[in-house]
Chains A and B, each alone.
Chain A
Amino acid sequence: MGVELATDRPGFYEMVDVDVSDSELVYHVRDALKSVSQGDSDHYNQLIAVMHYTGRLAPDEVAMLVTSLKALSGSISYIDIIHHESLLSSIFGMSMWNYGPDVMDALVELIISLAASNGKFVDSCLDMLVRNFTPPKSYLDLLGHPRGLARKHEVLDRVHSALSHIADLVPLAPMRLTPIILQRMPHMFDKETLIVIYVESMLRLESSALGEFVGSTMLMALVDRLIDLDVEISWDDIVLEDSGKGIFDMELEDVDDIIGYAEKDGFEHPRGTLGRQSLGTNAVADKLDSLMVLACEHLKSCADGERLTKVFETLLQSFWVTILNAYKSKFSQFVMFYACSLDPEHCGERFAVFLADIFVCRTHPALTRMSAVAYLASYLSRGKFLPPSLIASTLKRLVDWCLEYCQVQNGEEKTLYPETHRVFYSGCQAIMYVLCFRMRSMMDSHRLKSQLLHMPLEPIFRHQLDPLKVCLPSIVEEFLRQAKAAHLFTVSETFLFNNLLESDLSKAFGGMERLDMFFPFDPCLLKKCDRFIRPSFVYWSMVKTTYDEGEDCSSEEDINEYFDGNGKSYMDGGITRSLDEHDLDLDEFECQLNKMSITPRNSLKNGLINKLENYMRMPARIRPSTSPESL
């Protein structure tokens, strides 16, 4: 009966009869394929028609499709790349999202067999699978529903296992896969769901067995995409208006500006995303946000799988190539921050050392070095997870470099040329910035305090090159204030900056890129990925400064035992540090009153000092000059 069926019923629709055995079907398909080259394409065309079943399929249509696909799997060697081009393009054009699991399985089986049978099909098979990373456009909206999600899992599980099977059978397939994936990556202006679902698959590949071959490329492509989106967000959308308030927007404390965030842990939250700004770039920010979330989740799973160190190396390379030199990347760098927070011991330290290495190495371009030290300063200040010893040792490295630089300069110059020594100034500014955040905690630790006091800060800051004049005034001000309170050192001149954010000199050293005002790890404004960053982030409001009253410093009892290198007691040394003995302002007076404590108890805080404090805040929020090009 089977044989009769094969000859008497040439049409495919009749083949649905269950009595036809698989092998007979296979012979039938082989005949159809063979007869194409002889000119007879009837059965062949019918076969193609089956491939084009669309929409909701009736059960018998499904059965037809499944059996046809299975029969094709059995006739692989008869498929010719030229004669059967239309059949092949139909097969490769099929989207697994449109079918149920049975058809998916049969299709995947066919694709794997095709790829393994002939080298010519490998690229097309891989391409077809990569195209199935994303659903057809019409399907995108369904992804939010449970049924859509279920379908997504069904498809992606099969796609990835197919890729893995093909890699087993054709060892060089991963090599061919990489360019295909990169080519098919959705453009950054595509819909967010499309980009997200594609990147999900990319990251899934990175964690899979194929990750060994394609993983690093996937990560680098992701970081590239992050930067692409990042640069599309313009600064104007981030800064709020109200320039009259002063450029030092506090990160958090503007109560009126908070958009409906409840207070947690007593900390006020930063403003939401660019929700109040123009909607155009909001879409871009949302895309960036979603991708950052994906990246962070992926990093977390790498950390759980103890792969983070290896992944981090790729990330670091990518950071160097892509992010470091991107003109003022806004949020993409937080991926690095989060990765470091997951493994402070290795990754955290590695990042700091990496940046410091770039800064001290003379063969890198000046802009790269300045950018690196800006990253370093911001990182050391904001990373809650960083061990104080690392901060101290990195600071020491910076200080030593700056000192060496000072010693090399001869003292002939009378006028300041900020641009010539811009790397030096950026180094000094970095030191000051880190100390603004960390001075108090360093002074509170006995060991670090001695390290800090031994650092040759004075020769640097008192040098001819006069970094205190050139660096960003707001930072200098805060630094001096804290340094004075901590008796680190004082200067004779009083710097009156009048709430200046920037000065001409700082602009000069910052250059066109305004690297004088670059604080890359300022609070992340992206809503969704903020939850990854927040637990490890140091907000300025959390920082205890050396002039803060109230807290008894722990080393109070040690004060009597502490002597500086010259054998004088610390307090004596502290007072003799100030150049001008007549310059007793309130702080110092209080200090002398309270000789036993390092931080002066300032009882007048509520009065004048309080007002001053409102102005002399850390330049936590940056507002770039309106027209940097005008420099």
Chain B
Amino acid sequence: MEGLKVSDANLVVYIHPSKAGKVSQSILRELSTLLFKYNEIFDGVVLAYDVTIQNKNAKVLPGIYPCFGVKLKAKMLLFSPKPDMLLEGKVVKLGKESLHVIVLGFSSASIAEEDIREEFRYRIKHGEEVFASTSHKRHVIKVGSMIQFLVKSFDEEILHISGSLIPVNTGSTKWLHKNMEEGSMVDRLETRKKKRKDDRSEMHEHSTELLDDVGFSLKNEGRPKKSKRQRHAEQS
């Protein structure tokens, strides 16, 4: 999935003298106020951070409350979707006129009817509302499916994405991964499918992990992204 990036940041956190006994706790607290908000300086929504204190010495700010500034180096995991990026999310509401998706568990996205390509038609199958593809029988989007969509715009305040299912490489991720390469042999497809499923599930764990564990270490982050890039390279 695009839109996630890791940035290195040099930060200074100013701590009130009353917290001098529990510095790391107050640093984490201070940084946690950044979470799930769009930050202009970082150009993204802060999802997680990994902090190392650079120096045990801190400069004291003169003033009524002599707060002291602790210098930190942090790795920030940022979410910054830009137009024309491809994102994945889970469908939570499906209606004739629109599709509602949740990305990474916190960002809401909506796709309007006119942004869903003609291929998809709204149907009611087995009592369930779905968007079914007219050209590929198995390609179905319903509540609970993971879909890949294109970003049209991103509202930074409420973290709402406006999306589109016009491009051909958008739709249900299950179907897309299965049918990535046309005309390949069945075994290769199946092993690929398995690998992608593993990667995807890893990424899902990865995303949920992000939301739970704040002081999370970013060792695993690089791998899934690379493989996706590889996949795109292969595609084109």
| Residues on A facing B (Cβ under 8 Å) | 26, 73-77, 113, 116-120, 122, 168-172, 175-176
Contact = CB atoms under 8 A, between A and B. Distances in A.
A116 B36 CA distance: 18
Nearest to B103: A171
Closest 8 CB pairs of A and B: A119-B160, A119-B158, A119-B155, A77-B112, A170-B108, A171-B106, A74-B97, A117-B110
B110 A171 contact: no
B204 interface: no
A172 B158 contact: yes
Nearest to A112: B93
A116 B100 contact: yes
B44 to A, nearest CB: 15
Contact of A120 (B96, B107, B112, B155): B155
A284 B92 CA distance: 46
B102 interface: yes
Q: Chain B contact residues: over half helix, strand or loop, or mixed?
A: strand
A168 B159 CA distance: 14
A28 B130 CA distance: 25
B155 A116 contact: no
B28 to A, nearest CB: 20
Contacts of A116: 93, 98, 100, 108, 110
B113 interface: yes
Interface of B: 36, 92-93, 95-98, 100, 102, 105-108, 110, 112-114, 155, 157-160, 162
Nearest to B160: A119
B97 A176 contact: no
14 contacts: A73-B97, A74-B96, A76-B112, A77-B97, A77-B98, A77-B112, A77-B113, A116-B108, A117-B112, A119-B155, A168-B92, A170-B108, A171-B108, A172-B36
Contacts of B97: 26, 73-77
Given A116-B93, A170-B108, 12 more contacts: A76-B98, A116-B110, A117-B110, A117-B112, A118-B162, A119-B157, A119-B160, A122-B160, A170-B160, A172-B158, A172-B159, A176-B158
Contacts of B157: 119
B21 to A, nearest CB: 11
B100 A169 contact: yes
Nearest to B104: A171
Contacts of A118: 110, 155, 160, 162
B98 A117 contact: yes
B105 A122 contact: no
Given A116-B110, A171-B106, A171-B107, A122 B158 contact: yes
A168 B143 CA distance: 13
Contacts of B106: 171-172
Given A77-B112, A117-B110, A117-B112, A169 B158 contact: no
Contacts of A172: 36, 106-108, 158-159
A74 B97 CA distance: 6
A73 B98 CA distance: 10
A118 B154 CA distance: 10
Contacts of B158: 119-120, 122, 170, 172, 176
A116 B93 CA distance: 9
A77 B162 CA distance: 11
B66 to A, nearest CB: 18
A172 B162 CA distance: 16
Contacts of A122: 158, 160
Contacts of A170: 108, 158, 160
Contacts of B159: 119, 172
A74 B112 CA distance: 10
A120 B153 CA distance: 13
Contacts of B107: 171-172
